[in-house]
Amino acid sequence: MKIKKFTAASMQDAAKQIKKELGNDAVILHSKQVKKRKWLGLRSQQAVEVIAVLDRDVREARKTPPAAGEEMKKTEKTEKTEKAEPVQPPRLSDHSTSDDLAHYKEVLPEPLKKAERLLKQAGLPDHTQNAVLSELLRSSIASGDLTEENVNSKLQDLLVKKLPSADRWQEGIQSKYVVLFGSTGAGKTTTLAKLAASSMLTEHKKIAFMTTDTYRIAAVEQLKTYAELLQAPLEVCYSKEECLKAQEKFAEYDHVFIDTAGRNFKEEQYITELQEMIPFDSGLQSFLVLSASAKYEDMKQVLKQFSGVPVNQFIFTKTDETASLGSVFQVLSESRIGAAYLTNGQDVPEDILSVSPKEFVRMLLT
Ligand SMILES: Nc1nc2c(ncn2[C@@H]2O[C@H](COP(=O)(O)OP(=O)(O)OP(=O)(O)O)[C@@H](O)[C@H]2O)c(=O)[nH]1
Ligand SMILES: [Mg+2]
């Protein structure tokens, strides 16, 4: 893709320059009338500023491109009747060069510049920002509509398409066993309590708790507090046998919420223990809990570490503690695993929500 800004006395002169420099395949992206200063700024003259783009995909995306001559006439006409309006792109042959959008960002029209700012604020990695902006540019030009509203809605659609499909997001609690695992302090126990409480209070289910987190007394105490508040039984399991016994004990319950130890994700032993203790083969929903405020590289490490255990969905915690959801977006996009819940505070049970990919993209861009 090649983008360039031209300033000329008339639209016709600009078209000649574009044709000379970019060839017959160039497409006009945007044009406006400007005042050109002459004689040390003492006099000014009307001029036209045109942004043109040369890109194979853009041309192919335009389904019924008008002939070059016709379009050129149309462009001249438009010049007389419209001021500072985007002009229909003329069809001018076949070239394509570097796709490095970075060189061209300063000449982008305002709605695309705004999209660029939003992508940056969202904290997406540079390569994702550039890929999205490049696609956005192409599809905006192809549609011939560079209004802020259209560009913004196209931006949202492009981002949604990069996420796992909506059916992988909002499943709710369906299985008998529900287990949360993840790295230390991610918010597993608090989130487990939120899920259990809403299952009991909203869905009127009979619930119980199990924990394999026996490393710290405080961890058991923390879960015990929630169990007592909900008047639900809790079984602490130190071995696989105790886990099996607890399963028998809770045979009549609708849902059993299982807490696991918070361990450093770099410890392989932790994953082996999980594989032994958790009833993965008895109708289990498993959630990998990641803090939304963690760095993308760390999230990727955790995901890799848990590749040995089945992960149904993600839960992203602490969205209230981060200004950007860029790393969450990137992890979702690369893993193709959906997000069941986001948590946004310490209060049990209210600070939890489930969102669709569309809603998530809106959050990402705000
Ligand atoms: N701001 C905020 N804090 C949260 C959220 N979820 C959990 N926390 C807090 O994070 C801290 C750790 O939460 P826990 O639920 O104990 O985390 P954990 O993953 O069980 O921790 P370990 O068992 O030690 O690995 C607590 O202070 C929680 O109140 C959230 O969505 N937002
Ligand atoms: Mg815990």
DSSP codes joined into one string, 47-105 = EEEEEEEE-HHHHHH-SSPPPHHHHHHHHHHHHHH-SS-PPPPP----------GGGGG
Are 321 and 116 in contact by the 8 Å Cβ rule? The answer is no
What distance in angstroms lies between residue 291's CA and the mean position of ligand 1's atoms? 9
Q: Please tell me which residue, 340 or 38, carries the higher pLDDT value.
A: 340
What distance in angstroms lies between residue 93's CA and the mean position of ligand 1's atoms? 59
What distance in angstroms lies between residue 178's CA and the mean position of ligand 2's atoms? 15
Cis peptide before 111 (omega within 30 of 0): no
Q: Is the confidence at residue 97, as pLDDT, over 90? A: no
* Lookup result for tokens 């489930």: 354
**CB of residue 321 inside a 6 A radius of ligand 1:** yes
- Give the percent of the chain with pLDDT over 90: 49
What distance in angstroms lies between residue 80's CA and the mean position of ligand 2's atoms? 69
Cα 82–chain centre separation: 38
Helix (H) or strand (E) holding 32: strand 27-38
Q: Please tell me which residue, 200 or 68, carries the higher pLDDT value.
A: 200
- What number is the average pLDDT over the span 152-176? 93
CA dist., res. 30 & res. 16, Å (int) = 16
Single out the residue of 366, 296, 365, 361 nearest to residue 335, CA to CA.
296
Highest mean pLDDT, choosing among 135-149, 223-237, 279-293: 223-237
Give the ligand with the smallest distance to the CA of 322: 1
Q: What radius of gyration do the chain's Cα atoms show? A: 28
Q: Is the confidence at residue 238, as pLDDT, over 60? A: yes
For residue 201, what are its two tokens?
Answer: 């209070």
100-162 placed in CATH 2.60.40.10:
no
Mutate to test the pocket of ligand 1, among 190, 217, 287, 322 (most ligand atoms within 8 A of CB): 190
What distance in angstroms lies between residue 238's CA and the mean position of ligand 1's atoms? 23
Which atom belonging to ligand 1 lies closest to the Cα atom of 344?
A: 31
**CB of residue 190 inside a 6 A radius of ligand 1:** yes
**Considering Cα of 191, then 192, then 194, then 198, what sign does the dihedral take?**
positive
- Give the percent of the chain with pLDDT over 70: 82
Compute the half-sphere exposure of residue 349: CA atoms within 13 Å on the CB side of its CA: 15
* Lookup result for tokens 């994700």: 265
Among left, alpha and beta (phi > 0; psi -120 to 50; other), residue 211 is beta
Give the per-residue pLDDT at 105: 62
Give the per-residue pLDDT at 41: 58
CA dist., res. 204 & res. 197, Å (int) = 10
Which atom belonging to ligand 1 lies closest to the Cα atom of 345?
A: 32
Q: Structural domain boundaries of the chain?
A: 1-97, 100-162, 167-359
**CB of residue 346 inside a 6 A radius of ligand 1:** yes
Helix (H) or strand (E) holding 177: strand 177-182
Q: Please tell me which residue, 238 or 271, carries the higher pLDDT value.
A: 238
Give the ligand with the smallest distance to the CA of 319: 1
CA dist., res. 25 & res. 18, Å (int) = 10
CATH classification for the domain delimited by 167-359, as one of 3.40.50.300, 3.40.640.10, 3.60.15.30, 3.40.50.10600 = 3.40.50.300
Which of 58-67, 109-118, 213-222 is the least confident region? 58-67
Q: What is the pTM assigned to this prediction?
A: 0.80
For residue 290, what are its two tokens?
Answer: 């990641």
Q: Is the confidence at residue 365, as pLDDT, over 80? A: yes
Place 88 in a pLDDT band, splitting at 50, 70 and 90: very low
Tens of pLDDT along 253-268?
A: 999 999 998 766 566 7
Give the per-residue pLDDT at 102: 53
